[in-house]
Amino acid sequence: MDQSSEVQTKEMDSTSMSSSRHQNEPYVHKVGIPPKQNLFKEFKATVKETFFHDDPLRPFKDQTRSRKLILGIQAIFPIVEWARDYNLSKFKGDIIAGLTIASLCIPQDIGYAKLANLDPQYGLYSSFVPPLIYAFMGSSRDIAIGPVAVVSLLLGTLLQNEIDPIKNKVEYRRLAFTATFFAGITQATLGCLRLGFLIDFLSHAAIVGFMGGAAITIALQQLKGFLGIKQFTKKSDIISVMHSVFASIEHGWNWQTILIGASFLSFLLFAKFLGKKNKKFFWVPAIAPLISVILSTFFVYITRADKQGVQIVNHIEKGINPPSVNQIYFSGDYLLKGFRIGVVAGMIALTEAIAIGRTFASMKDYQLDGNKEMVALGAMNVVGSMTSCYVATGSFSRSAVNYMAGCHTAFSNIIMSGVVFLTLEFITPLFKYTPNAILAAIIISAVLGLIDIEAAVLIWKIDKFDFVACMGAFFGVVFASVEIGLLIAVSISFAKILLQVTRPRTAILGKVPRTTVYRNIQQYPEATKVPGVLIVRVDSAIYFSNSNYIKERILRWLTDEEERLKAASLSRIQFLIVEMSPVTDIDTSGIHALEELLRSLEKRDIQLVLANPGPVVIDKLHASNFADSMGENRIFLTVADAVASCSPKLVEEV
């Protein structure tokens, strides 16, 4: 055998010996370190995901200049896009829907204006101009625009805290227009700056509670008109209202008024029941309010019940919206007050409209651009404030009727607006003898739908903390005021976020039998712990707000486990494995907490091991030199790899 053959044989023997030596050792994947990111590109990507996650400029890509211009116009005025495909079939559906929601909105608008402490015509004004603006700029096919009960009550409550609506009627109206202007500015600004995610901070549970409480408050406020009481409290809490109601029981109640109110409320509730029972009769509850107004007005007129103490609407000013630009406060003490009230009312109106829009968009399977909606709602309220309107938004009851009536596009809002225009021009004098009791009955029947008991029960079953937020908002509105309830709703929503951020969940993991999978031992009781190894999973990013808690919680897990092992005379913990799959990010405080954890474990002669840190986390661990100080050989791709490398014999035993 020549020399070269001998060397080759030795190398082969050496290779086979090496492979036989390592064939029993597990193959361990190394955790990948992502390439260094350009700081500008990383910042750009973060900004894009925060403000432009829906990539609004994608349709403009690779388009000609003229096409980009058309797309730009469509982005601002969606009507340009859907009008091209408009046909007779869609027009039929829209005109039926528009006429149906108009019959519902006219009596509601007169009642809602009273909630806002404004004259009846201002409610009608707000269903004439804003729906026209929205039809051109809105992206929802189903939303019906106009005044709504909750926003009307909120606006009325906040405004009367600043100005008496009876003694200073003109100043009160001017402040209402100012608040509407700033409500529109707030909405449009949020849309233009793409800050729509801010409204998501008001949780669904808080909204359910707030709406339910507002419904109770609105219904209680209607007892004044329903019972014919002349002297009534200006406060909205249930105790003040009920005290006012029972204090006037001997001399304040009017039996004719109660008879009218109770009769037509029963009729309205029956119509609602019929509409829910059979979807074919959706139009019955829609036209029932208008029928009630016509019948009750005729009844009062022929019997002259107004002479017997039945309070009536009296005069509704004829004609379309007069300009009100010169009535908005752009300076003086009321400017800041109008701004503050407008921001609150604008946010609530926006939350309601977006929630309604998303609901019907999902039912018809089309995309709703939240930021476009904000701009459209803002524009219509800014224009509305200049044309004698107060805050308008999407109405759930009208939108539901619009949807059921078979609307296809926002053209149904134009039809509704046209009917309101004709009403303002020709029909308003006929409402003179309309009793206040019928408006109270219409509002009570409308707001009862805002009380969602099923949703509250579901919230209780799913999340007890959410239920606390729901009930906090509800009782805050009912027993204090609308603004207090709103404040409680926002506060509890933020408290939940803070609690979840500062006190994230951690879990002890065990090995699921006959697998290499490690899961929470509380969820999988059959999962077994590995002797000598404690595996902890952190279910949150590690930030300054929770880093110290996470470190202390891990050490508490360790102390509890050591005491348990000592009591059972079992072998002590040698390795602490931290599963980091859910840890999406870590900051300098988080790194510092890991360094402190490492030092604490070294004093106990326990080795720290990390499993599956994400790209952002592993990059920061290397940038801070923490990976070097703890040892790169202690960072693994999976918990199974970590356990196998730390204690292979123990794993085989398990």
Torsion sign across C-alpha atoms 474, 476, 479, 481: negative
Please list, in sequence order, all residues whose beta carbon lies within 8 angstroms of the beta carbon of residue 72, skipping any fewer than 6 positions away.
60
In 446-574 the beta strands, taken as DSSP E runs, fall at 506-511, 518-520, 533-538
- Average of per-residue pLDDT across 170-189: 97
SS3 at position 146: strand
- Average of per-residue pLDDT across 287-311: 93
In 460-574 the beta strands, taken as DSSP E runs, fall at 506-511, 518-520, 533-538
Nearest to 59 by CA among 74, 80, 41, 49: 74
Q: What is residue 496's predicted lDDT score, i.e. its pLDDT?
A: 85
In 570-653 the beta strands, taken as DSSP E runs, fall at 575-579, 607-611, 635-636
CA distances from 386 to 130, 353, 568 (A): 11, 21, 79
Residue 57 has pLDDT above 50, yes or no: yes
Contact between residue 97 and residue 406 where contact means Cβ atoms under 8 Å apart = yes
In 543-626 the beta strands, taken as DSSP E runs, fall at 575-579, 607-611
Q: What is d(CA 562, CA 556) in angstroms, rounded to the nearest whole number?
A: 10
The domains of the chain, with CATH numbers, are 92-315+326-494 (no CATH), 504-646 (3.30.750.24)
Q: What is d(CA 123, CA 104) in angstroms, rounded to the nearest whole number?
A: 13
Q: What is residue 338's predicted lDDT score, i.e. its pLDDT?
A: 97
Q: What is d(CA 249, CA 255) in angstroms, rounded to the nearest whole number?
A: 11
Residue 2 has pLDDT above 60, yes or no: no
pLDDT tier at 15 (50, 70, 90 boundaries)? very low
Contacts 24+ apart (CB under 8 A), 598-607: 598/626, 598/629, 598/630, 600/555, 601/558, 601/576, 604/558, 605/574, 606/558, 606/573, 606/574, 606/575, 606/576, 607/574, 607/575, 607/576, 607/634, 607/646
Nearest to 112 by CA among 439, 441, 422: 439
In the sheet that holds 506-511, the strands lie side by side as: 518-520, 506-511, 533-538, 575-579, 607-611, 635-636
Backbone phi, then psi, for 632, in 5-degree steps? -65, -25
- Chain centroid to Cα 395, Å, comes to 16
- The percentage of residues in the chain with a pLDDT greater than 70, rounded to a whole number, is 94
Rg (C-alpha) for the chain, rounded Å, is 33
pLDDT tier at 26 (50, 70, 90 boundaries)? low
Tokens of 234: 């200006």
- Per-residue HEC secondary structure of 193-228 comes to CCCHHHHHHCCHHHHHHHHHHHHHHHHHHCHHHHHC
Q: Do the bridges between strand 575-579 and strand 607-611 make them parallel or antiparallel, or are there none, so unpaired?
A: parallel
Place of tokens 């109405």: 395
CA distances from 322 to 14, 326, 587, 621 (A): 98, 11, 57, 66
Q: What is residue 235's predicted lDDT score, i.e. its pLDDT?
A: 85
Residue 487 has pLDDT above 80, yes or no: yes
Q: What is residue 453's predicted lDDT score, i.e. its pLDDT?
A: 94
Q: How many C-beta atoms surround the C-beta of residue 566 within 10 A?
A: 10
Instruction: Please report, as a single letter, which amino acid is at residue 410.
Output: A
Q: What is d(CA 253, CA 227) in angstroms, rounded to the nearest whole number?
A: 5
Query: pTM here?
Result: 0.83
Instruction: Please report, as a single letter, which amino acid is at residue 400.
Output: A
- Average of per-residue pLDDT across 289-293: 95
Quick one: 19 exposed, middle or buried, by C-beta within 10 A (0-12, 13-18, 19+)?
A: exposed
- Average of per-residue pLDDT across 486-500: 86
Q: What is residue 579's predicted lDDT score, i.e. its pLDDT?
A: 96
Express each pLDDT in 518-532 by its tens digit: 999 999 999 999 999
Express each pLDDT in 423-466 by its tens digit: 999 999 999 999 999 999 999 999 998 899 999 999 999 999 89
Contact between residue 153 and residue 221 where contact means Cβ atoms under 8 Å apart = yes
Backbone phi, then psi, for 312, in 5-degree steps? -120, 165
CA distances from 317 to 328, 435, 519 (A): 21, 17, 70
Please list, in sequence order, all residues whose beta carbon lies within 8 angstroms of the beta carbon of residue 180, skipping any fewer than 6 positions away.
342, 345, 381, 384, 385, 389, 390, 391
Express each pLDDT in 255-275 by its tens digit: 999 999 999 999 999 999 999
Q: What is d(CA 430, CA 438) in angstroms, rounded to the nearest whole number?
A: 15
DSSP string covering 59-128: GGTT--HHHHHHHHHHHH-THHHHHTT--HHHHHHHHHHHHHHHHHHHHHHHHHHHHTT--HHHHHHTTT
DSSP state of 461: H
